[in-house]
Amino acid sequence: MRTLVFIPAWNEEASIAGVIGDVRRALPQAEVLVIDDGSADATAARAREAGALVASLPFNQGLGAALQTGYLYAMREGHDFCAHLDADGQHPADEVARLLEEVFADRADLVIGSRYFAGGEGQGEGAPGSDEYKPTISRRIGTSVFRFFLTLATRQRFTDTTSGMRAANRRVMALFSEHYSPDFAEIESLQLAVRQGLRVEEVPVRMLQRADGSSFLTPLRSAFFIFKGMIVLLVGQFRPRPPESGEGPGQVPPEPGDAGPIGKRVEAER
Amino acid sequence: MNGLLLAAQSPKVHLTPQARILAAAIAVAFMAMILELIRRDRLQERYSVVWFVAGLGMLAGAAFPGLLGLVADAMGVRNTNVALFSIVLLLLLGLALNFSVIMSRQAAQITRLAQERAIERAREQAGGGRNGEGASAQPAERDPA
């Protein structure tokens, strides 16, 4: 059983070594791949020094393309499972390990680490979900808008649609390595996975305040970001499904009685 | 009272001979330019067809000004200028969209190319002497070196 943990990084020379060290400590058996998205600084060199493999994109291609590179690598190299996390130190590797447990146990095909979702199983020790992470206002608005529309589109409740901490198995790799929107990676990929009949699950995780650098979202940009995201979601609903698909149209609003653990939705597929 | 009759006769569009000659010359020059671009490998044939059609359209308009009047009547537009501009505008819109489609396809191709290259580099690194605990995590190495 081989696992790949990949980290998309763009100009993260300050934090990348720490993140790699954290992953290697928490997941010693996993292979670590840094996808250097055309960084202008020493990100690739730092990552190599820290013992990670580095896939350097020759020029900056954006987060979606970087993530897809990771899925493609995992697929090609025959990894059974993969996970990814952000390079800025927001995501503790121990939490990534918890996400991986879910796919190891085959409870889901794709697992999302949610910083908002406080319900569910993890309430006991440490109470993940209620945490050090404090989102900015524009981030919070954007998140709730996307949450609403993604829920509408997928009929499954998602709390942290833009989370960059995920774990996946080979079925997801096969899908994402071929179909991954370069522009709106996080949200559209969720929609795609659900439409494809994959089991997508959210797990509450603890996230840290970003160590360094600030979010790219100014109010104007986030308004544009939200608008763009809504268009992407709308179009995604009409996109033809790639071949080996599941069934069922996705246009009905969420079912009220969809009880059970949030985000759990075992499709009849497979 | 004039519709049917006017559609049959041409002189609804008034072009002076100078204007017609000028339009024809521009159309010919335009197509010559397209040819030249192809000849110098600056333009690929598959993207040139549409421009030739545009050039031919210009030429036809110059040679038979009555055509435009017919088209305007068919569209139900009284003013032939409006008809002309609407048609050209729509064509340009279609062309621009066509280019966006081509651009998107090429962007996707470039992205995939970059990804393949990146993966290749990571593989080289994995194959070439990398040691440490990470290396033991990947027993299934491609080349048994």
Of A217-226, A238-247, B52-61, B134-143, the least confident: B134-143
Percentage of residues in chain B with pLDDT exceeding 70?
A: 79
Residue window 128-187, chain A: list those with CB within 8 Å of chain B: 182
Q: Is the pLDDT of residue A234 over 70?
A: yes
Interhelix angle A185-195/A170-178, nearest 10 degrees: 120
> How do residues A171-207 score in pLDDT, each as one tens digit?
999 999 998 877 777 888 888 899 889 999 999 998 8
The set of residues, in sequence order, having a beta carbon less than 8 Å from that of A126 and lying 6+ positions away, is: A206
Question: Average of pLDDT values for B108-117?
Answer: 94
Question: Average of pLDDT values for A28-37?
Answer: 95
pTM to 2 decimal places: 0.74
ipTM higher than 0.95? no
> How do residues A250-270 score in pLDDT, each as one tens digit?
333 333 433 333 333 333 333
Q: How far apart are the first and last CA of chain A?
A: 21
How far, in Å, CA of B82 to CA of B88, rounded? 10
A164 three-state secondary structure: coil
How far, in Å, CA of A229 to CA of A148, rounded? 12
How do the domains of chain A map onto residue ranges? 3-238
Instruction: Test A2 with B117 for CB contact under 8 angstroms.
Output: no
Which strands sit side by side in the sheet containing A53-57, from one edge to the other? A53-57, A31-37, A3-9, A81-84, A166-169, A110-114, A200-204
Q: Is the pLDDT of residue A105 over 60?
A: yes
Position B83 scores a pLDDT of 87
Interface test with B, best of A27, A57, A235 (most B CBs within 10 A): A57
* Token digits of residue A46: 């730092």
Helix, strand and coil percent figures for chain B, each rounded to 5: 75, 0, 25
Question: Average of pLDDT values for A28-36?
Answer: 95
How far, in Å, CA of A93 to CA of A85, rounded? 8
Instruction: Test B125 with A48 for CB contact under 8 angstroms.
Output: yes
Closest CA of chain B from A230, distance in Å:
20
Find, among A229, A1, A188, A208, the residue nearest to A85 by Cα. A208
Is it true that domain A3-238 has CATH number 3.90.550.10? yes
Residue A124 — pLDDT band, cuts 50, 70, 90? very low
